[in-house]
Amino acid sequence: MADHERVMEKIVSLCKRRGFVYQGSEIYGGLAGTWDYGPLGAELVDNIKNCWWKKFLYDREDIYKINAAILMNPGVWEASGHVSGFADPLASGKLFNTMFKTSAGAGEDAATVYLRPETAGGIFVNFKNVVDSFHPKLPFGIGQIGKAFRNEIAPRDFIFRVRELEQMEIEYFVRPEEWEQKFEEWRRGVHEFMEMVGIAKKSVHELEVLDGERAHYSKRTIDFEFDFPFGRKELCGLAYRTDFDLSAHEKASTVELKYQDPDTNKKFTPHVIEPSFGVERTFLAVLVSAYTEDTLGGETRVYLKFKPSVAPIKAAVFPLLKNKPELVNKAREIYTELKKDIPQIMWDDNGNVGKRYRRQDEIGTPYCITIDFQTLEDNTVTIRDRDTGEQERVSAADLSTTLWKNLKT
Ligand code: ATP
């Protein structure tokens, strides 16, 4: 087995063993292209999404969050070109539309509807609503995180290519003459976000998608590729979509989707820049970037070098011995207090302290806090750093402040 295959196998096995990712419907033999996030995976997903919202919404003022329905009027997907063109070639040469179909309503009234293949559709149909509610000035964006469904012919490579996925997308509306400048800003933003969640910079490569290979509506697309263990593959994309979407939905719905310049009163159709991220591929790139094998104190170990911002558990609290009620009670007290300030805290009293360290390293917990006999005397605890294995003693009274400071740096 090649080294990269071995790494992938180890990551998949760690994900299952430690409760990050399970096969979908596993006890029934699974369902191809579906995966379930376990307790730690679900936290990691939420942390990735929170970083995304922080970077692209809370740290700026020009993005509006929405949460649109997954089932939409089929007209949306006719206008966007998905009904006629969202297809992959089959080995037999026939094109296969990868949208999932279902029906809404009963009996003769049942109508064919599609599970959305991307979240962008929900954003475009709400363009006018957001403009009418908030009167934003150009440029501004509408962002959404949500599920999308693609009936991939061959789902593969763990969570890389799945049939039920989650996307984090922004449609950023600009004046036609400013698209190039804004595209560059988003290009930087994409890299900054990757750094924020701990995706290894050296493994990210931009691929300028050439004329003829881009979607017909796009005048420029960059695929951000990542060196996954199974090859260099698309992680996320940035596309300049011109005014294709708003114009197409305006034409098909007959509802005007224009922007009125508040200074000149002139109406025009904004152009769109779309950074589009997949949660699963971001999750996998974060995991691959974090996966580390090293030697600590003469022992080899595996650990996930997560950035604190995405680590599912920020700190674990241990009583040194679990059969000493005075230690357990004190540790419980400290754990309960800490959890009020930092919710992603874990209680761990299984096995000896060495084993607990190994386990927490393997799930990427940045800090382990041990309550020992000295704690009972002077109210200090040890904090152990995941990456260096070094420990320092700090006052339990300052624990929350110290931890916050450490997690931020
Ligand atoms: P690919 O070429 O790999 O099929 P795509 O170009 O069709 O991807 P987009 O339509 O641009 O992908 O979707 C935006 C993002 O959504 C992708 O960059 C990826 O992160 C994610 N994504 C798309 N399809 C899948 C899938 N089947 N499984 C997991 N993530 C996906």
96 alpha carbon to ligand 1 midpoint, in Å? Answer: 17
Q: How crowded is residue 357: how many other Cβ atoms within 10 Å of its Cβ? A: 24
Q: Which has the closest alpha carbon to 360: 394, 335, 387, 338?
A: 387
CA 163 / ligand 1 centre spacing (Å): 10
Which is the closest atom of ligand 1 to the Cα of 160?
29
Least confident range from 33-42, 85-94, 144-153, 243-252: namely 85-94
pLDDT tens, residue by residue, 173-194: 999 999 999 999 999 999 999 9
Among protein residues, the one with the nearest Cα to ligand 1's atom 25 is 161
What superfamily does domain 313-408 belong to in CATH?
Anticodon-binding domain (3.40.50.800)
Which residue among 193, 221, 234 is best mutated to probe the pocket of ligand 1, counting the most ligand atoms within 8 A of its Cβ?
234
Distance from the CA of 162 to the center of ligand 1, in angstroms?
Answer: 9
Distance 278 CA to ligand 1 centre (A): 7
Domain boundary assignment for the chain: 3-288, 313-408
For residue 282, which atom of ligand 1 is closest to its CA?
A: 20
The whole model's pTM is what? 0.97
4: which DSSP letter?
H
Say if residue 179 is exposed, middle or buried (CB neighbours under 10 Å; 0-12, 13-18, 19+).
buried
Instruction: Enter the tokens of residue 254.
Output: 């007959």
Say whether pLDDT at 199 is over 90: yes
Q: How far apart are CA 246 and CA 241, in angstroms?
A: 10
Per the DSSP assignment, residues forming a β-bridge with 228 are 231
CA of 335 to the centre of ligand 1 (A): 41
Residue closest via CA to ligand 1's atom 23 equals 278
In this structure, which amino acid lies at residue 247? Answer: S
* Plot region of 212 (φ>0 → left; ψ -120 to 50 → alpha; else → beta): left
The residue count for the chain: 409
pLDDT at 85: 86
**322-335 average pLDDT score:** 96
CA 282 to centroid of ligand 1, rounded, Å: 11
With 90 as the cut, is the pLDDT of residue 305 above it?
Answer: yes
H-state helical runs in 54-126:
74-79, 82-85, 120-124
Q: Which residues line ligand 1 (CB under 6 A)?
A: 118, 150, 152, 161-162, 165, 167, 234, 236-237, 276-278, 280-281
Interval between CA 117 and ligand 1 midpoint (Å): 10
pLDDT of residue 409: 78
How far is CA 383 from each of CA 318, 390, 391, 396, rounded to the nearest angstrom?
Answer: 10, 8, 5, 10
- Pick the atom of ligand 1 nearest to 150's CA: 27
Residue identifier of the C-alpha nearest atom 29 of ligand 1:
161
The structure tokens listed for 228 are 């996954």
CA 3 to centroid of ligand 1, rounded, Å: 26
Average pLDDT over residues 255-259: 98
Could you give the CA distance from residue 300 to residue 272 in angstroms, rounded to a whole number? 50
Q: What is the pLDDT of residues 380-390, one digit of tens each?
A: 999 999 999 99
CATH architecture of the region 3-288: 2-Layer Sandwich (3.30)
Per-residue model confidence as pLDDT tens digits over 348-395: 999 999 999 999 999 999 999 999 999 999 999 999 999 999 999 999
DSSP, collapsed to helix, strand or coil, labels residue 21 as strand
Task: Output the average pLDDT for the chain.
Answer: 96
Which position has the token pair 């760690």? 14
